[in-house]
Amino acid sequence: MRHRVAGRQLGRTKEHRLAMRRNLVASLFQHETISTTVEKAKEVKPFAEKLITLAKKGTLPARRRAISLLGNRDIVEYEDGNPVRKGTVIGKLFSEIGPRYLDRPGGYTRIIRLSLRRLGDNGQLVLLQLVGADESITKKRKKRSRKKTKEKVEVEETAEDQVETEVEVTEDTTAEEPEVQDGEETKNQD
């Protein structure tokens, strides 16, 4: 029986699973989007979100805890064939990714299923990516602005109607009044 045994084994030993989880999350923080299988993505997602929550705190104990859970891998990019160190994964997590999600209560990652299958074992591929901060803010603003725009549109329409009626009145009065000479006015009044 496997009562109260959480998580997937993924055909690996415990040490291999932990190493794979750390590597996938470090790659996710480095590139902000990775392609993997559905099962691996579902296993890695909670771990990544817990680390982002630690990064939102930004304290020294939180940083040390993140280093103990994830390790502190270097970010290396190749320029002109030479490796150049650009920083560390923990540094990027605490300086860029954590502050990006300060206003967001959770749900920092998403899984997008791809129509592609892996050639070797025909496994279902997905994209595991960090949710952009701009997207969450624009969604909130759109929802708020829609409510406000409906009210504003009604107010603007009534204001425009009033302006149009005023314009029509002024146009009608000028159109109805023919040019009158002094002598003709006295004849009409008699």
DSSP for 122-172, please give it.
-PEEEEEEEPPHHHHHHHHHHHHHHHHHHHHHHHHHHHHHHHHHHHHHHHH
Q: How far apart are CA 121 and CA 119, in angstroms?
A: 6
**Taking the CB of residue 131, how many other CB atoms lie within 10 A of it?**
15
- Give the distance from CA 151 to its chain's centroid: 27
Tens-digit pLDDT profile for residues 47-106:
999 999 999 999 999 999 999 999 999 999 999 999 999 999 999 999 999 999 999 999
What does the pLDDT look like over 102-148, one tens digit per residue?
A: 999 999 999 999 998 999 999 999 999 999 845 644 555 555 555 55
Whole-angstrom CA distances from 97 to 4, 5, 34 are 33, 32, 16
CA distance 164 to 180: 28
Q: Any idea what the Cα angle at residue 20 is, between residues 62 and 32, rounded to 5°?
A: 65
Q: What six digits make up the tokens of 83?
A: 């490796």
14-131 has which CATH code?
A: 3.90.1030.10
Please report, for the chain, the start and end positions of each structural domain, with discontinuous segments joined by +. 14-131, 132-178
Which are the contacts of 93, defined by CB distance < 8 A and separation ≥ 6? 29, 51, 52, 55, 66
pTM of the shown model = 0.69
Question: Per-residue pLDDT for 177 more than 90?
Answer: no
